[in-house]
Structure 1
Amino acid sequence: MKKTTKFLTVAALLATGFSGTAMADEGFSIGADVVSSYVWRGTELGDSFAIQPSLSYTFPGMGVEIGAWGSYAIEKNTASAIEGNGDYRYKEIDLYLTVPVGPASVTLTSYSLPNDTETDSFDFSSDGINTLEVSASAEFGDLSLLAAVFVGGNDYGNATYCEAGYQFYEKDGYTASAVVGAGDEDYYGDLEGKKFAVVNTGVSVSKDRYTASYIYNPDTAKSNLVFMASF
């Protein structure tokens, strides 16, 4: 889901991309990441290589950013957390608006999971393809904090998620970060009805445009090793 890639860069997913209080460059920005698999908040959503393009615009003098982010699996999944079968090539298109508020940022994200049977890109009904999330993030030196809650559309019972990332190493062009995140277990975990659980831990190491992340979900006892190249 939106910014996963940047989540990964901060530490196995701060994507991610995602956030903090530093003001982005003004004007338009485009980019793309290639990932060995798509892991979002401790859960693998696509088990093939994926291309993840992004487009954004930051308003001059305001720091307000509006943008779009997507993930397109190259092959059909052998297993899919979303569809529950292997006959599905995962794709996602997210729209977001980020507004700086004092030392933090507030983001409204529309996660969209289009498929062959539902074609309305702006269907926000309870059984539609879109989910709205409100999140807040902040950075304090090497520490990054995130809190998020689903608020509309196919809202998964208003599931919440909290995450902390910390960059603990920077030398010879390498940076390394650690992350820990917790969320509603009935959405982010193993569906056994617990209310809240640690669902995302990991370490990421980056150099230049490349990042490798080891991600472990303590609630499902599943781990992933993800490689990402950013362009």
Structure 2
Amino acid sequence: MSISITKNKWLLFLTLMIVATTGFSLMPTQKAAAQQVDFGSDFVNRYVWRGIDFGKSASIQPYIEFTSGGFTAGTWASYAISPVENSTVSAVGASEHDLYLSYNFGNVSVGVTDYYFPTGSEFFNFDDNGDGAHIIEPNVSLTGPESFPLTFYGAINAYNDPDHSIYLEASVPFTVGDTEMSVTAGGVPTESAYYGTTKAGLININLSVSREIEITEKFSLPIFGGYILNPYAEQSYLVFGLSL
């Protein structure tokens, strides 16, 4: 990839972020949360991320997260339980272990995620140009007020991705009865081997649902799911999970 193309992708990403941030910066901010530590795990029948199925298996996804005011630091992982293998499909059990930092300014959040894939990769391999074990992704999220609850998210693979892949999405939450729902549409503006595209494309349409099932007066079990369509790859998924 030429330097000029890389610069154009960065310019596209930064321009979109500046325009969106300027528009949202005049909206009212939320009060920062108190200091706390949270940890737990999700159990999902499939790990589908941004319209892509990782590992073709049910997965366990633990996390630990620390927050203080607007600052958040955490680690999240996904480990495939039983990858599918048959005469037509052969899948290596997908493993992923990420580290992330973010700061919330109210309706604007900026952050960076270090994506690490342990299978066959040494942790301290920080080589660039697609040869290393880590992909570094700066990201920004912009959320409107209650009267306009649109969230816009943008991210770029700044390190160890020769395509410097950009991902953009918008989502809108709503409620039906006691079920929290949202609709998300996401895609890439240019070719990206990372996302499996040879041109711009819509890769993630997601109708998500979540609710809590009351087990006792003091304990409720959060469950969630989603219908996910990847129009570019012509694949669809139905995901179910629960949180502990």
Above 0.5 in TM-score? yes
What are the residue-to-residue correspondences of 1:165-204 with 2, within 5 Å?
A: 165-171=171-177, 173-183=178-188, 184-187=190-193, 189-191=195-197, 193-194=198-199, 196-204=200-208
Corresponding residue number in structure 2 for 1:151: 158
Report the structure number with the largest CA radius of gyration: 2
Shift of residue 74, structure 1, vs aligned partner: 0.5
Q: Using the alignment, how far apart are the partners of 2:33 and 2:84 within structure 1?
A: 34
Corresponding residue number in structure 2 for 1:229: 242
Shift of residue 28, structure 1, vs aligned partner: 1.1
Answer whether contact 1:26 1:63 (CA < 8 A) is retained. no
Corresponding residue number in structure 2 for 1:4: none
Q: Using the alignment, how far apart are the partners of 1:211 and 1:24 within structure 2?
A: 24
Match of 2:170, as an amino acid? A
Q: Using the alignment, how far apart are the partners of 1:222 and 1:230 within structure 2?
A: 26
Higher RCO structure, 1 or 2 (CA under 8 Å, sep 6+): 1
Q: Using the alignment, how far apart are the partners of 2:180 and 2:102 within structure 1?
A: 26
Q: Deviations over 1:44-65 (max 9, x none)?
A: 1121110000101112xx3111
Corresponding residue number in structure 2 for 1:99: 103
Q: Deviations over 1:83-139 (max 9, x none)?
A: xx72521110000000124530111100000123x32x1322121110000000022
Q: Percent identity?
A: 33
Q: Could you say if the C-alpha distance between residues 73 and 102 of structure 1 is closer, same or farther in structure 2, counting changes exceeding 3 Å?
A: same
Q: Does 1:49 align with 2:58?
A: yes
Unpaired runs of at least 5, structure 2: 1-29, 213-221
Q: Using the alignment, how far apart are the partners of 2:205 and 2:31 within structure 1?
A: 24
Match of 2:124, as an amino acid? F
- Match of 2:193, SS state, is helix
Corresponding residue number in structure 2 for 1:66: 73
Pairwise CA RMSD? 2.1
Match of 2:48, as an amino acid? V
Answer whether contact 2:163 2:192 (CA < 8 A) is retained. no
Q: Could you say if the C-alpha distance between residues 123 and 22 of structure 1 is closer, same or farther in structure 2, counting changes exceeding 3 Å?
A: farther
Q: Could you say if the C-alpha distance between residues 69 and 22 of structure 1 is closer, same or farther in structure 2, counting changes exceeding 3 Å?
A: farther
Shift of residue 220, structure 1, vs aligned partner: 0.8
Unpaired runs of at least 5, structure 1: 1-20, 80-84
Q: Using the alignment, how far apart are the partners of 1:72 and 1:166 within structure 2?
A: 29
More off after superposition, 181-190 vs 219-228:
181-190
What are the residue-to-residue correspondences of 1:21-32 with 2, within 5 Å?
A: 23-32=32-41
- Match of 1:46, SS state, is coil
Q: Which runs of structure 1 show a deviation greater than 3 angstroms over 4 or more consecutive aligned residues?
A: 21-25, 187-191
Aligned residues: 198
Q: Using the alignment, how far apart are the partners of 1:39 and 1:166 within structure 2?
A: 19
Q: Could you say if the C-alpha distance between residues 92 and 38 of structure 1 is closer, same or farther in structure 2, counting changes exceeding 3 Å?
A: same
